[in-house]
Amino acid sequence: MAASRNTIELAQTGKRDYLQSLEKKYQKRWQDERVFEANAPSAEELKGLSRAEIQEKFPKWFGNFPFPYTNGALHLGHAFTISKIEFAAGFQRMLGKRVLFPHGFHCTGMPIKASSDKIIREMELFGENFERFNPDAEEEVSAPTETTESAPAAKPDKAKKGKVAAKATGLKYQFQIMESIGIPREDIKKFADPYYWLEYFPPKCIEDNNAFGSRIDWRRSFITTDANPYFDSFVRWQVNKLYAMGKIKFGERYTIYSPKDGQPCMDHDRAEGEALNPQEYTAIKMEVVQWSDASSEIAEKVGDRKVFLVAATLRPETMYGQTNCFVGPDLKYGVFIANDKEAFVCTHKAARNMAFQGTFSVQGQVNQVHEIQGSKIVGTKIKAPFAVNPEVYVLPMETVLATKGTGVVTSVPSDSPDDYATLMDLRKKAEYYKIDPSWAAIDPVPVLSTPTYGDMTAPALVKKLKIQSAKDAKQLAEAKEIAYKEGFYSGTMLVGEFKGQPVQDAKQKVRDSMIAQGLAFAYAEPEGLVISRSGDECVVALMDQWYLDYGEAVWRAQTEKLLSKLDTYGTETRNGFEAVLAWLNKWACARTYGLGTKIPWDPQFLVESLSDSTMYMAYYTVAHFLHGTVNGSQRGSLDIAPEQMTEEVWEYIFRNGPLPENSSIPKEKLEIMRNEFEYFYPFDIRSSGKDLIPNHLTFCIYTHAAMFPEDKWPLSIRCNGHLMLNGQKMSKSKGNTLTMRESVEKFGADASRLSLADAGDGIEDANFDEKTANANILRLHTLISWCEEQVQNGDKLRTGERNFHDRVFEEEINNLINITEGHFAEYNFKDALKYGFYELQSVRDWYREVTSDVGMHHDLVLYWIRVATLLVLPIAPHFSEHIWSTVLKEPKSVQFALWPEVTKPVDRAIIDAGAYMRDTTKTMRDAELSLLKKMNKGKGAQAPYDPKKPKAVRIYVATRFPEWQDQCVQVAKDAYDAERDKVDDAKVRELLIQRGLIKDKKAMPFIQLFKKRIGEFGAATAFNRTVPFSEVEVLQEFLPYLKRTLGLVDAEIYLADDAKTKEGPGFTKNIIESAEPGAPAFEYRNVDA
């Protein structure tokens, strides 16, 4: 497949091809040996054991991720999320656990059905094989999104059009999209059947995962919807149970709705706008008293009806302080017939929402009789419901948005900073804004009082934040947030029937009163732009529907308890869950269009795609017993028919229900399924993209809290960010995209996996760098060649007694084993790769270099190869399998190998000595390179020696720190607060003054650096300033290497105190005095060769 235009192309592929041949070889072996199939211990093995004893004797690990929607190839973002469980599964296997990593296929919902319907329409247009399609004759035609009547043509929204185009990859027709993903044109007609998608894509997904080397137990895979009768039965039991528990209810509520599709449009049904919800307003009816001269023609368009400007507000309690009303002078407004007696003025977008909320007399119908520009409405006199000033004028406001609210804004300048700033601008420049000054003459009216800002919050904030005009958008946004929070949480009403009451109590009462008097009505719209997968701009509809009662107090408290016990691996994820729990409520769980499971008690509806996927992780534990194919067309190992899986059976397996009395399934088989669930559940971790926190992941913990006892609640959920490609967001339209299969074909599985591990682990966005992936090909190939060469030529390696460098090498290997294990255990794969792969090779490189005169030790080289093979096994299993099985000749697959055990504590003194040798060498080499650069630039006239001539070095070792440093360290120690783990700066200054050190310019900078050391290494390590090894002895051990690598004629070691007594050239006092324990000074000089 041709590379995307923003991705790299490989020049040489020989090494990659070799690695890929190894990968295919070992993947076949793993599949033939059924390596990744995991089973619970038998009931006999578990008999009489407590849960703790079972975990000790038969430890398990169950990891999973949200199954992908099966309407195309897995992209690299899928691979990134999968890799988090894949790497962890590899590591957990090495701990001797029974590891369950399953993978299902989500097919529920609209996307597949919508795409198949498009193919049907395109076949009608162009023929069965689209043979009548003529690309040259095609003209770009915008897909219609308007389904309401009497609506004017809307001006295309460029931002919206661009986003949709990006989503659609620039291809207009569904058959073109199918061709773009590699499906032959003559086969596309098969996809007119939505169920064919369910046959076609799951096997492709399995192939892609196998090519990636995934450790998945494919026996447990399944597809959703009624295409799999076993899973269909499971979902029916789940929703029936939730219904019986009172968690699913029926009633009227707001929901995001697609008029084109004729049903709610939930998150997974959307091409754009996921996680956006209905935003509810109070719509204020402001009756027109007298039209402006420019808008008087409206009267003849509406007959005898009263006309109202309709303003949407989130703050009905402030309506007492209205001084005017704003419209956008450049916006287009419509006049819409609401009923026989009323007409509304607002934007078309707002009217379209109202049409589905029972506001207009005919549901779903928008009857627009006139369109007018906002500037023409300016000067119209209107009634201001509840206002102290009952009649006000319409004024212009340039910041009014057509995309938010109704386009009409009530003005309360006492409490809205935007309103106040605009009103002041209008007063200052009435002529410029073409208004009569009398229209803006009403002064702000006090409505509520706050402790901080009194009864004029907006003017006070405008003054405080130095806001000069309505164009100071940033400051006004800040002021608006402050004003709202201050007013709501601390405000007290000053006027109206609820005078004296807290705003928090009065807010709803004012709203209810206005609606009861016919002066307002409830209005809602999406929080932002929502586009359905059918290309429709969605609205908010008020409709009767089945919904999950998320947010209900008891259920929410139960879910919050689950969350409190859940490991989220970071505060960002936990905060995300807590924020969603604070607002989530009443989620529509039914739809009429698409694929899925029918709601048992109301089969005209299907269970929507985010509601049938909240506890399928439990289904993984028994899927292989029930069916032998993903669609359930063949029975599983227990030979059970779908109709035998009654609700009583599911209850027995998953909820410890009583043994079903009339079940045709033998008790032994029921116990096998229950035993499998009891052993593997709860799952240990679910890894997901962070974008699923507002929906799927929160629904998951809600459902688990309701359906399972606490000992079956999820143990952890880990979230990652999105994956960028080469530092940019992946986008098909921009040619910056890569599928999972394309990455494996381009770089090989292990090189791709190494790059995914290196991409990042946090909740922030990660980056897959193709240059890194390409470099990994060479790195792996080189490493394989080196390992093969060392084993083949093992008889040429040194044997016998080990020297100092051997001891350092062994301790460094053992130290990296421990460090890498810790990172794998915490799911920090980037750091696990850093230490277990890159750093491990670095210590080998040093060892090879420092022992080049005597050679490496045979036993340690083999030990390193074995450890290197195992430490990278979770991430690069094909490489590890080759070294393990082919190079080291181990009989069993490396997939059964255990984590290398370090049998004794690592000697920290030896580790520090190793770091000391490398740091000293680097410092000395860098000093010489720096001098050479200066000399090459002609700046080395005063150089103390010529690096190009024969040279020697004296190394000065200090046994104690300078006295002034010791004094400063003591000051820091005396100012250190152990409880707060912090050095008190005020106390530091006080002690420096007391001890006469405050005037020493070196003191304060040194203490600040020392504080950083405390932060990096901890107080105990920082205050312990002793070197845990003999510097002189270590320097003597690697002096031969220093002489070789730096090209020295001679090298001498002096204690600094002794060097100070020496006379003559080459013993420079300030250099000698710069030596500190752990950081020797050195002095080069030229000598005769």
Q: Per-residue pLDDT tens for 106-120?
A: 999 888 998 999 999
Helix or strand (DSSP H, E) at 87: helix 76-94
Backbone torsion region of residue 596, taken as left when φ is above 0, otherwise alpha when ψ lies between -120 and 50, otherwise beta: left
Half-sphere exposure of 171 (CA within 13 A, CB side): 11
* Prediction pTM value: 0.82
pLDDT tens figures, 651-669: 999 999 999 999 999 999 9
Residue 140 one-letter amino acid: E
Q: What is the pLDDT of residue 5?
A: 54
What average pLDDT does this structure show over 322-346? 97
Which among 58, 67, 57, 53 has a CA at the least distance from the CA of 38? 58
Q: Which residue has the tokens 């386009």?
A: 407
pLDDT value at 593 more than 50: yes
Place of tokens 């250190």: 976
- Residue 1063 is predicted with a pLDDT of 77
682 preceded by a cis bond (ω within 30 of 0): yes
CA–CA dist 681, 676 (Å, integer) = 8
Instruction: Evaluate if residue 713 carries a pLDDT over 80.
Output: yes
Residue 1067 confidence class, pLDDT cut points 50, 70, 90: confident
Q: What is the pLDDT of residue 534?
A: 83
Q: Give, in order, the Cα–Cα distances in Å from 278 to each of 530, 542, 572.
A: 11, 10, 25
| Confidence check: pLDDT of 6 > 70 | no
Please give the sequence-ordered ranges of beta strands (E in DSSP) within 661-760, or none if there are none: 685-689, 717-720, 723-725, 728-729
What burial class does residue 1059 get, using C-beta atoms within 10 Å of its C-beta: 0-12 exposed, 13-18 middle, 19+ buried? buried
Find the range with the poorest average confidence among 33-37, 753-757, 1012-1016.
Answer: 1012-1016
Does residue 163 register a pLDDT over 50? no
Model confidence over 463-503: pLDDT tens digits? 999 999 999 999 999 999 999 999 999 999 999 999 999 99
Mean pLDDT of 967-977: 89
End-to-end C-alpha distance for the chain, whole angstroms: 62
Angle at 923 between CA 970 and CA 1002, to 5 degrees: 30
Enumerate residues 6+ apart whose C-beta is below 8 A from 1053.
954, 955, 957, 1032, 1035, 1036, 1039
Confidence of residue 154 (pLDDT cuts 50, 70, 90): very low
Q: Is the pLDDT reported for residue 917 higher than 70?
A: yes
What pLDDT digit, counting tens, does each position of 750-770 carry?
999 999 999 999 999 999 999
Of 17-31, 32-46, 706-720, 949-963, minimum mean pLDDT range: 949-963
Pairwise CA distance, residues 441 & 430, whole Å = 11
Question: What percentage of the chain has pLDDT greater than the value 90?
Answer: 77
- 460 sits in the region (left: phi over 0; alpha: psi -120 to 50; else beta) called alpha
Residue 356 burial class via C-beta count within 10 angstroms: exposed 0-12, middle 13-18, buried 19 and up: buried
* pLDDT exceeds 80 at position 1016: no
Report the helix count and the strand count for the chain, using DSSP H and E.
Answer: 39, 32
Q: How confident is the model at residue 947 (pLDDT cuts 50, 70, 90)?
A: confident
Task: Report the C-alpha gap between 937 and 21 in whole angstroms.
Answer: 51
Nearest to 756 by CA among 14, 75, 19: 75
Q: Does position 528 have pLDDT exceeding 90, yes or no?
A: yes
pLDDT digit string, tens, across residues 1001-1011: 888 888 888 88
User: Taking the alpha carbons of 754, 758, 762, 766 in that order, is the dihedral positive or negative?
Assistant: negative
Average pLDDT along the chain: 92
For residue 610 the two structure tokens come to 């985010």
Other CB atoms closer than 10 Å to residue 826's CB: what's the count? Answer: 12
Percent of the chain with pLDDT over 70: 96
pLDDT in tens, 221-257: 999 999 999 999 999 999 999 999 999 999 988 999 9
Burial class (CB in 10 A: 0-12, 13-18, 19+), 191: buried
Tell me the per-residue pLDDT of 792-838, one tens digit each, with 9 for 90 and over.
999 999 999 999 999 999 999 999 999 999 999 999 999 999 999 99
Cα separation of 558 and 638, whole Å? 36
pLDDT of residue 148: 34
